Structure 1
C-alpha cells in the first residue's frame, strides 16, 4: 500500500509599520525574529519561505548583520526562498498600479542584491485580493500568489479542495494561486505540536499532491501574549502532547523527522505540481477582515450570524457563501482614513504634474534624484497599517497617522521647492483650490501657502478638517473621532468610560446647547438644539489678495427652542482668512424678527448657547504637552497638563508640544464689544476606547477646545489662531 503524503510549505511574514517606535523593532527582534530565524537555521532539511516588508528588511541590514548572515547562509544552501510584495506593505487596490509595480520592483531588487535570490512569489498585504491583480503582478515577474482559503470558499470550492493550488488570470496573464490552510493557522502555536501533526496526517493522501500551506506572522511566534515562552523556552511549552518543550523547535523536528511530511517551498510546489484547475476569485480578504470593515450596526448583526452558522453543522452550506464587507469600505467607515488616502492621491498628482513639466522642459535628469526621494515619501505614506482597524490598533494609532501626514507634507515641500526653482517662483505664495477632495461629489476648498495648508469641507457643517504646518510637516488636525465600535457592547459595565462622538472631530463645528457641564460636552451626551452642526454651508466668498486668502461660508439653519420644540431660523456665517502663520475666523449670526414669534426667540436667547469646536493634535510625549492662559493661574501638578479636562471664562488659550517645539495660540474677541467676559473655554482630551492586540486601551487622539458664546439676536466673534 502506498504511504500517504502531505506537502507542507511554511511561510513566515515579517512586518513592522513605517516609523514604528525603534524600541518596538528591538523588542520584537529579541522575542521573535532572532529566535525564529536561529531555529530555522538549526534544521537544514526544513524548507521555509520568508517575506519581509522592505522597511524592516532595511532595518535588519543596517542593525542586525548577524541576522542577515544567517539568512544568506540558508539561501546559499537552498533551504529558503524569499517572496516579494510592496516595499512598504501597501494595499494594492487603493494605490495606483504604477505605484504597486514600483514598490514591488524596489523590494525584489533589494532581495536580489542582498541574497542573490530571484523573487517568484508575492505577498498580499492583509491578503486583500481583487480580480485585476494578476495583470500587474505578472508584469513584475511573479509566478504565484498566496491568498486566504476564505477567498476560495466564496466560489463554492470546499475546504478539502483548498488543499491544492489553482491558476487564475486577468487580461490573459496567468498566476498560480495557493490557498492558506485555516486549521493550521489557528493551531500554531496555540495548541500542542501534536495537534498540527495529527491534522496533517488526516489530510495526507496516497497521490501525494495535496498541499497544506502554513503561514504565520513572525510576530505571532514570540510577541503575541505569552508566545515567546511557548515557542522558545523549554518547560514553558504545551504540557499536553509536548511535555512542556518549546513549540518551534519541537514542531520543526516533527516536520523533518516525519517521512510522510514533505517539507517544500512554494516555488518547488509550482515546479512539481500542476494546478488543480482554473479559478476566478472575488474581491476578498481573510474572514475577520470582512467582518471588521462593516459599519458598526451591521457588523454586530453579521458577527452574530457568522458565529451561529459556523458552529451549526446543519448550516455549513450557507456558511460557505456568507460574505462580509469589502476592504475599501474602511475609507467610508473611518473618514480620517479616507482623508489620508485622498491626500496621498492629491500629493501624488502634484508629483505627476511636476514630472510632466520636467520632461517637457528637458530638465528631468537634473532633478531625477530629488524626484526619487519624493516618490519614496509617497510610498511610505501608502503603508497599510493606519488605514484600517481590526485586531491591531490601526487607524487608532495616532503616531502612524502622523507618519503618513509627515511623509506627504515632506513630499509637498520638496515638490514646491523644485517648482520654485524651475519656474523662478517667489518663496512666499498663497492659493485657493476648489476641488472634490474627499471624492463624495461635493466641493471642498484647500488654501495652500508656503507655511500652511487649510482643508475645508463646506458640506460637513462648514468645518476645517486638516491644517498642515509645513515647516514641521505637521498636521495639527490629525485627530481621530471616537467612533462607536461593535466591541464596545462587550463592556457595558464600563459604559461611562467609553465615550463616543456623533460627528467627526473637525474644527469650526457649531453646536447649540443649554447650560450643560464640562462632562456632558466631553462625553458628547448633551442634547443638540440646532442643525448647524452638520449643515451644508454655501461658499459666498472665495478671494485672494496679495498673500492672504479669504473663504466665507453661509448657512440658513434652524434652532429648536428647548421646551416647546419650536424651531426658529438663524443665519450664520463663517469667514476664514489665512495670512502667514495666522488663521483668522469670524463667526457671525443673526436672528430675523418674525411677527408673533418673539416669545420663542426670547426663550432661545435666554436658555441656549453656541459652542464652536477647535480640536487639535500634538504628536509628542503627552507629558511634555502644556497649556497656559494669562487669564488663568493653574496651580495643579503636573503644572498645566494639557490632557486634563478644564473650563474657565476667558478669551485666551495657548498650547505647547514640547517635543516638536510647536505652539498654538488662540485669541478671542467680541466684535460688538458687548459681554466681553461671557466667553467660556472648555478643554478636554479626545481619548478613544479601542481594542488592540494588547487588549482594550484608552488611546489619546488629540484635544478639543470648545468656545462657548452666548446667543444674541445679532452676534459677531473673532478668533485668531496663531501657529509657531
Structure 2
C-alpha cells in the first residue's frame, strides 16, 4: 500500500558472475558478499528488499551452496524478499535477437517459479537501459515492470511529477510499468556512510513527501556485513518516515505518474563499431542464433525426439554464449572471451549433428558475416572451421571443434580491443583493395584461392595463395605462389595464436596444456622466425597475456617463388 506521507524505498541488490569467471571468484564473492547479505537481511525481518540473481549464479549456488538457496526460499516465502527475473545468462538485450530475448527471460522465470514457489512479476536488464520492444516481450511472459536508469527518462516539465514516482511505457498497445533508478544515489551505496544516505533520503522526503526512490546496487560491493548491519539498523530506526517495500506490493494499488516513451541506448552498438574483436564475437552469435532458428523451424519425419534434444542443447549453449560481459568491457579478458566462443562453438556442434549426423563432411559458405558489406568465406568440416576475409586476405577465426576453442581468439589494444588475425601477408602495400577470391568445392574437399597484385619497389608483383580443407582432417593446407621480379624482396607471414609457443623451426609447435592438444606448422622453405608475446593492459596497469605472434620471413629471388605450409592439430 502506498503511504502518502512516507518515503517509499525500493532497494534491489544485483548478484551476478559472468560466464567463464574462475570458480575461486564465485566462492570468494559468496563468502564475502552473498552470504553476509542474506544473513543480514534475515536478521531484519521487518525490512523488505528486492534481489536479482543471474541464472549462472543460481546454478553455481545450487551445486555449491544449496543451504543458501534454502534460506533465500524461506525469506521469499515470508514476503521479505521479492526476486526479479532477467536474462538467464545476463545478455545485453540490445544485442540479441527477439526470440532469444524471450527465451532468456522465460528460462529465468521458470527457474524462479519452480524453485521459489511463485513467478516473478518484474525483471531487470543489464545496463538498466530501455528497449522499445520490452512491453511486448514482457507481456508475453506475464512480467509487469522493469527498472531503468533515470538518465534515460526525458527531462521535460510535463514529465516532472510533484514527487519521484514511476511511469508506464507502451509498444504496439502493450504497456509496462517502468521505475526510474536513482543512479547517483545507487552508486554512493557502499561508499557513502550509512548516516549520510539516511540524511539524503530524509531531505528528499522533506522536500517531496511520499517520494518513491528506487536504488539498485551490486551485491559484490559489500565485502563485510558491518556496512549492511549499520545501514539496515538505520532503516529500522527511521520507519516513522521511511518504508522499505517491494515492487509487487506497490503495484497492488498502482498509481503511475503517466505515460513515457524512453530513448534507445546506442552505447552497446557503438562499442561494437569501435571494437572489431567484440563485433566478430557478436556476429558469430547472431549467425549461430539464425542457424538455430532455421533448424528449429525445419520439419523432420524421423528422429524427432533426438532432433528436439539437439535443438535444446544448442539453444542452451547459445544462451550461455550470449552472456553480455564478453561483448563489452570484458572482451579483453581472455578467459571471458574464450568462454563465450566455447559455448557458441558447442552450439554449432549440435547444429552439425542435426544437419550431418555423425558423418564426416566439408562445406563452404560465402556471406557477409560481419555485416560490413563485404563477403567473408567459411571453410568447415567436422573438425575445423576456418573464417577468412578476402578484404584482408587473412583468417580471423579458427575453431578446433573437439575442444570447442577458437585458436585465434587473441587481441591487442590499438587503441580499442582489436582482433589479431593469422595468415597475414606482409609484402604488398596496403592500398585498401581486397583480394580477388575464388571458392572451390570438390567431393570431400573445400578451398579458397586468393589473389592480389601490387607495386613493390616499382615492380608489379602477383601474390596467390590457396587454402584447402579436407573432410575429417584437422589439417589446413596453404600454398603460395609469387611471381614478378622478386630479387631483393622479402615475404612475411604473420600468425597469432591463443596458445603457448614451445618449439621453433623446422616444425613450429604450440601447445594448449590445459586442453591437451598441439598445433604444428610445417614449412617446405626455411624461414627466419621472430616471436612476440601478445598482451593487453588491464585497468590496474597489469599485463594480460593474450597469446603469441609468429612472424616468418623469407628472402625472395627469381621470377617465381612457391611455398607450402601445413597447419596441423593433434
Give the TM-score band, short-chain normalised.
Answer: over 0.9
Task: Select which of 506, 527, 536 maps to 2:434.
Answer: 536
SS at match of 1:281: coil
Q: How many angstroms does 1:278 deviate by?
A: 0.9
**Higher relative contact order (CA closer than 8 Å, sequence separation 6+):** 2
Q: Which of residues 362, 370, 375 is equivalent to 1:430?
A: 362
| Residue 96 (structure 2) pairs with residue 95 (structure 1) | yes
Counterparts of 1:571 and 1:420, CA distance in 2: 39
Whole-angstrom distance in 2 between the partners of 1:709 and 1:583: 21
Query: Paired residue for 1:333?
Result: 274
Partner of 2:521: 666
Deviations 1:227-248 (A, max 9, x none): x3xxx2xxxxxxxxxxxxx211
Whole-angstrom CA distance in 2 between matches of 1:43 and 1:450 = 57
1:508 is the counterpart of 2:405: no
**Aligned residue among 323, 336, 345 for 1:383:** 323
d(CA) in 1 for partners of 2:324, 2:433: 32
CA contact (8 A) 1:155 1:282 kept: no
Matched, 1:403 2:335: no
Contact 1:103–1:379 (CA<8 Å) still a contact in 2? Answer: yes
Alpha-carbon distance in structure 1 between the residues aligned to 2:388 and 2:208: 64
Q: What pairs with 1:416-495 in structure 2 (closer than 5 Å)?
A: 416-421=352-357, 427-459=359-391, 461-485=392-416
Decide whether the 8 Å contact of 1:3 with 1:206 is kept in 2.
no
Is 1:250 the equivalent of 2:165? no
Distance in 2 between the 1:201 and 1:178 partners? 20
User: Structure 1: any 5+ residue segments left out of the alignment?
Assistant: 223-227, 233-245, 285-324, 486-499, 513-528, 562-566, 593-600, 619-624, 630-649, 671-675
Distance 2:364 2:89 in 1: 33
State the distance in 1 between where 2:542 and 2:232 align.
Answer: 36
Work out the CA distance in 2 between the residues paired with 1:476 and 1:156. 55
Other-structure match for 1:277: 258
In the alignment, what sits opposite 1:311? none
Aligned to 2:442: 545
- Change in Cα spacing, 1:61 to 1:715, as seen in structure 2 (3 Å) is same
Establish whether residue 353 from structure 1 lines up as the match of residue 294 from structure 2.
yes
User: Counterpart in 1 of 2:168?
Assistant: 167
**How well do the aligned residues superpose, as a CA RMSD in angstroms?**
2.3
Question: 1:722: which partner in 2?
Answer: 568
SS at 2:411 equivalent: coil
Match of 2:283 in 1: 342
Counterpart for residue 557 of structure 1 = 454
Which moved further from structure 2: 141-150 or 405-414?
A: 405-414
Aligned equivalent of 1:573:
464
Aligned to 1:32: 33
Match of 1:139 in 2: 140
Aligned-pair CA distance for 1:568:
4.5
Which residue number in structure 2 is paired with residue 703 of structure 1?
Answer: 548
Paired residue for 1:191? 192
**Residues 286-314 of structure 1, C-alpha deviations (whole Å, 9 max, x = no match):** xxxxxxxxxxxxxxxxxxxxxxxxxxxxx
Say whether residues 1:682 and 2:530 are aligned partners: yes
Local SS of the residue matching 1:40: helix
For residue 56 of structure 1, what is the aligned residue in structure 2? Answer: 57
Gaps of 5+ in 2: none
Assess if the C-alpha contact under 8 Å between 1:82 and 1:117 holds in 2.
no
Distance 1:552 1:680 in 2: 26
Q: How does 1:107-146 map to 2 (within 5 A)?
A: 107-146=108-147
- Go from structure 1 to structure 2 and tell me whether the alpha carbon gap of 1:255 and 1:435 turns closer, same or farther (over 3 Å shift): same
Deviations 1:140-164 (A, max 9, x none): 1111110111111566788987821
C-alpha distance in 1 between matches for 2:180 and 2:480: 58
Counterpart of 1:616 in structure 2 is: 497
Go from structure 1 to structure 2 and tell me whether the alpha carbon gap of 1:711 and 1:531 turns closer, same or farther (over 3 Å shift).
farther
Aligned counterparts of 1:206 and 1:483: Cα–Cα separation in 2: 50
Matches for 1:276-295 after TM superposition, within 5 Å: 276-284=257-265
Match of 1:641 in 2: none
Q: CA deviation at 1:688?
A: 0.6
Distance 1:366 1:184, change over 3 A: same
Are 2:351 and 1:372 aligned? no
Deviation at 1:481, TM superposition (A): 2.8
- How far did 1:206 drift? 7.7
- CA distance 1:340–1:200, change in 2 (3 Å): same
Preserved contact between residue 440 and residue 449 of structure 2 (Cα < 8 Å)? no
Structure 1 183/413 Cα, relative in aligned 2: closer, same or farther at 3 Å? closer
- Residues 380-400 of structure 1, C-alpha deviations (whole Å, 9 max, x = no match): 1111010011xxxx0011111
3-state DSSP of counterpart to 2:261: coil
Distance 1:84 1:568, change over 3 A: same
- Rounded to whole Å, the distance in 2 between the matches of 1:658 and 1:15 is 30
Q: Is the 8 A contact 2:362 2:379 kept in 1?
A: yes
1:521 — aligned with what?
none
> Structure 1 length normalisation: TM-score?
0.74
Q: Is the 8 A contact 2:530 2:552 kept in 1?
A: yes
Quick one: structure 1 residues 155 and 704, their matched pair in 2 at CA, closer, same or farther if it must change by over 3 Å? farther
With over 3 angstroms needed to count, the CA separation of the structure-2 counterparts of 1:589 and 1:366, relative to structure 1, is: closer
1:163 match: secondary structure: coil
Alignment deviations for residues 397-443 of structure 1 (CA, whole Å, 9 cap, x no partner): 1111211221122122222223334xxxx722111111111111111
Q: Deviations over 1:483-508 (max 9, x none)?
A: 315xxxxxxxxxxxxxx9xx741112
Confirm whether residue 412 of structure 1 aligns to residue 348 of structure 2.
yes
Task: Write out per-residue CA displacement over residues 41-79 of structure 1, whole angstroms, 9 at most, x where no aligned residue.
Answer: 110111100101011112212221221122112112111
Sort the Cα spacing of 1:117 and 1:444 in 2 relative to 1 into closer, same or farther, 3 A.
same
> Contact between 2:12 and 2:216, CA under 8 Å: does it hold in 1?
yes
Q: Which residue of 1 aligns with 2:502?
A: 627
In 2, Cα distance between equivalents of 1:544 and 1:181 = 59
Distance apart, 1:347 and its partner CA: 2.1
Aligned length: 564
Partner Cα separation in structure 2 for residue 548 and residue 717 of structure 1: 21
